[in-house]
Structure 1
Amino acid sequence: MRVAIAGAGNVGRSIAAELVENGHEVLLIDREPAAIKPNSLPQAEWLLADACELSSLEEAGVDSCDVAIAATGDDKANLVMSLLAKTEFGVPRTVARVNHPKNEWLFNEVWGVDVAVSTPRLMSALVEEAVSVGDLVRLLTFHEGEANLVEMTLPPDSPAVGKQIGTMHWPGDVVLVAIIRDGHARPPDRDGSLEARDELLFVTAQDYERELGEMLSPKGVSPQIVTPSR
């Protein structure tokens, strides 16, 4: 997979390092000469250019990318880059960093953004999750609000504790994507069992969140669905 990343600061370089390690082709774009540090990640391509300019994106070959990531510290630049990548170059998937929560409402399909990542929102979600065992926490909303990434820490008295994962019948189109246990993330194993205090990560349509929470909560307990403030 070929990925273009606008913004070669700490965030952009960290994302690039992860993607390179996973075998993807990565191009880092930044308009500041001081940000261009090929020696820090020689496996990636580097381009000194303004990702908000059509000519720069043409030079970068963004039309051949599978994903475009706007990871600069400027929300306006991230929106413009996402819009150009989607509408002018037909990039299948765009991911944009939201620096200021007050701007989060802009990061949607109108501006060519498939996935918006707001660090303050994610952090507040994780804080609320840490003190809310048994509550369903909405961490991230995907393209057009059709699906959410949600988390629930399994209470010790949940009826799901001890059950084999392969026997669980999740409601609707709910998908269990990962389990965090003892601080380590692991993919769900159909032959494995759920344990108390497992942190379960699901992708689900919002319509099924309540049913999912009730399925995992102790009998007679109505789970709270936590949506961090924007």
Structure 2
Amino acid sequence: MRVAIAGAGKVGRSIALELLENGHEVLLIDKDPAAIKVESVPKAEWLLADACEISSLEEAGLHRCNVVIAASGDDKVNLVVSLLAKTEYGVPRVVARVNHPKNEWLFNEAWGVDVAVSTPRLLSALVEEAVTVGDLVRLLRFSHGDANLVELTLPADAELVGSRVGDVPWPPDTALVTIIREGRVVVPTKDDPLEAGDELLFVTSPDRERELENLLSPYHSAG
């Protein structure tokens, strides 16, 4: 898979290293000469250019990319890159970094964004996840289909502890995609039992989040 990353700062370089380790082709783009640190990610391709300009994106060969990641520290830049990637080059998957939570509402399909990643939200979610059990934590917002990736740690006294995944009346527009149990990733089947302390990751529509939280709370009656 070929991935272009606009923004070669610490975030962009970290993403590039991870993708390269997983066998992907990576192109890092930045207009700041000080950001072009080839020695830091030697296996990546590098391009000194303004990712907000069509001529730069032509040079980058964006039409050959499967994914574009707008990872700069400027939300305006990330929105422009996302829009150009989607509308001018038809990139199948556009992921954009949100630097300021107040701008999060802009990062949607209208701007070409498939997945918006809010760094402050992720950091606060990790803090919340470390100190709360039984509370729903929103991790990511997907613009297509108006869905969120949410996490909830199942309390020991929840009614649904011991229930099989397939027997739980999950809310509509909700899918249990992963169970993290004792550091292991479990792909759930209908026969898997829910255990106390399970970290449950769901993709759900925003208007079903409260219903999901209530279902998994200690006060819900499974009968």
Normalised TM-score (structure 2): 0.88
Is residue 177–residue 187 contact of structure 1 (8 Å, CA) maintained in 2?
no
Residues 168 and 17 of structure 1: CA distance in aligned 2, closer, same or farther (over 3 Å): farther
Q: Which residue matches 1:228?
A: none
Please give the residue correspondences for 1:150-165 in structure 2 after superposition, counting only pairs within 5 Å.
150-165=150-165
Where in structure 2 are the equivalents of 1:109-188 lying within 5 Å?
109-144=109-144, 146-165=146-165, 167-168=167-168, 170-182=170-182, 184-188=183-187
Cα distance, 1:128 vs structure 2: 3.0
d(CA) in 2 for partners of 1:22, 1:9: 20
Equivalences for residues 8-27 of structure 1 within 5 A? 8-27=8-27
1:55-96 CA distance string (max 9 Å, x none): 010011101111111101111111111111111111122111
* 2:52 match: 52
CA contact (8 A) 2:158 2:220 kept: no
Deviation larger for 43-52 or 204-213: 204-213
Decide whether the 8 Å contact of 1:176 with 1:188 is kept in 2. no
CA distance in 2, matches of 1:178, 1:90: 30
In the alignment, what sits opposite 1:97?
97
Write the distance in 2 (CA, Å) between the matches of 1:193 and 1:21: 34
Q: Which amino acid aligns with 2:77?
A: A
Kept in 2: contact 1:107–1:113 (CA 8 A):
yes
Superposition deviation, residue 145 in structure 1: 6.0
Residue segments in structure 1 that go unaligned for 5+ positions in a row: 222-230
Aligned length: 220
Cα gap change, 1:173 to 1:85, in 2 (>3 Å): same
- Structure 1 vs Structure 2 CA RMSD: 2.2
Q: Is the 8 A contact 1:32 1:48 kept in 2?
A: yes
Q: In the alignment, does 2:12 pair up with 1:4?
A: no
1:182-208 alpha-carbon deviations (Å, 9 max, x no partner): 4x2513243643321221111112243
Structure 1 range deviating more: 10-19 or 135-144: 135-144
SS at structure 2 position matched to 1:152: strand
Moved over 6 A (4+): none
- For 1:10-89, what aligned pairs fall within 5 Å after superposition? 10-89=10-89
Deviation of 1:169 (Å): 5.1
Displacement of 1:175 after TM fit?
A: 1.9
Q: 1:118 to 1:92 in 2, by over 3 A?
A: same
8 Å CA contact retained: 2:136, 2:150: yes
What residue identity is the alignment partner of 2:158?
A: S
Distance in 1 (alpha carbons) for counterparts of 2:184 and 2:87: 36
The 1:114–1:152 alpha-carbon spacing in structure 2 relative to 1, beyond 3 Å, is same
